[in-house]
């Protein structure tokens, strides 16, 4: 029962129903606590952390990740430890602490390489790519994205492939190659639609809006922003809602000449 509640929680979060997702994860956690099932509790805490982070509640998310990490370390579950290092790295990056984020990503990668866990390695390479891009090293960033993409394609992980197309699209857009960027965003969007990933679809619409704005097409940009906003609101992704609202406000300001 606990396992199925957890799986339903992940499903509801993917569909954009965070309240229902939290209810499922809480039910799973209650059963795992009753049974003293520490591995299950670790998974529940990790899932709740991801949920809280998507809502912009970073402090609560970190508390969940740390609980999950402690349980996985107690149990010696290396795969779980690696996943929690990854989650913490993403959180630290969101807080503007790239050095701490890199430490977490490198710890995760080392464990996944030791285990031969290719999905985890792909995730670590993708996160390191984002970090290098933020630091202004596009060559190293692209190398990481391509490693991640190759592993995800080898494994047939469509979600991972979509995420890496997005990352490459962002990189090409920043480099001044809008056509290549657009191709990546559309590839990612097609996969996100196929998977029913509302937050992924919203990200692509937002990225396409930014691209169309730089091309001087404000009407098309606004259409993309509004699609993104509706989807981000549906999944309760507060930080992303603020991001798109800011883009729309900037578009209105540009049109009014202010």
Cα 124 to Cα 109: distance, rounded to the nearest angstrom? 6
In DSSP notation, 173-239 reads HHHT-HHHHHHHHHHHHHHHHHHT-HHHHHHHHHHHHHHHHHTT-HHHHHHHHHHHHHHHHHHT-HH
Whether the predicted pLDDT of 14 surpasses 90: no
For residue 45, give the nearest of 73, 13, 68, 11 by alpha carbon: 68
Residue ranges and CATH numbers for the domains of the chain are: 1-76 (1.25.40.10)
Tell me the pLDDT band of 238, cut-offs 50, 70 and 90.
confident
Give mean pLDDT, residues 45-70.
Answer: 96
Look at residue 117 in the predicted model and tell me its pLDDT. 95
Whether the predicted pLDDT of 176 surpasses 80: yes
Tell me the pLDDT band of 258, cut-offs 50, 70 and 90.
low
- pTM score, whole prediction: 0.78
Whether the predicted pLDDT of 93 surpasses 70: yes
């Amino acid at each position: 029962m606990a396992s199925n509640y957890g799986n339903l929680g992940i499903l509801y979060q993917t569909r954009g129903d965070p309240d229902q997702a939290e209810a499922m994860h809480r039910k799973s956690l209650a059963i795992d606590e009753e049974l003293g099932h520490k591995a299950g509790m670790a998974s529940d805490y990790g899932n709740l952390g991801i949920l809280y982070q998507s809502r912009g509640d970073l402090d609560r998310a970190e508390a969940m990740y740390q609980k999950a990490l402690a349980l996985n370390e107690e149990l010696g579950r290396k795969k779980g430890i690696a996943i929690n290092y990854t989650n913490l790295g993403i959180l630290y990056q969101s807080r503007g602490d790239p050095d701490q984020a890199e430490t977490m990503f490198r710890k995760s990668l080392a464990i996944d390489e030791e285990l031969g866990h290719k999905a985890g390695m792909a995730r670590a390479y993708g996160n390191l790519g984002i970090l290098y891009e933020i630091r202004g090293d596009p060559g190293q960033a692209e190398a990481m994205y391509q490693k991640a993409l190759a592993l995800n394609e080898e494994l047939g992980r469509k979600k991972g492939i979509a995420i890496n197309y997005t990352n490459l699209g962002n990189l090409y857009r920043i480099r001044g190659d809008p056509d290549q960027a657009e191709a990546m965003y559309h590839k990612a969007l097609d996969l996100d639609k196929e998977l029913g990933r509302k937050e992924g679809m919203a990200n692509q619409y937002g990225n396409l809006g930014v691209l169309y704005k730089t091309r001087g097409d404000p009407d098309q940009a606004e259409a993309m922003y509004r699609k993104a906003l509706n989807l981000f609101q549906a999944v309760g992704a507060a930080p992303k809602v603020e991001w798109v609202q800011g883009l729309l406000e900037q578009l209105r300001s540009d049109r009014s000449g202010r």
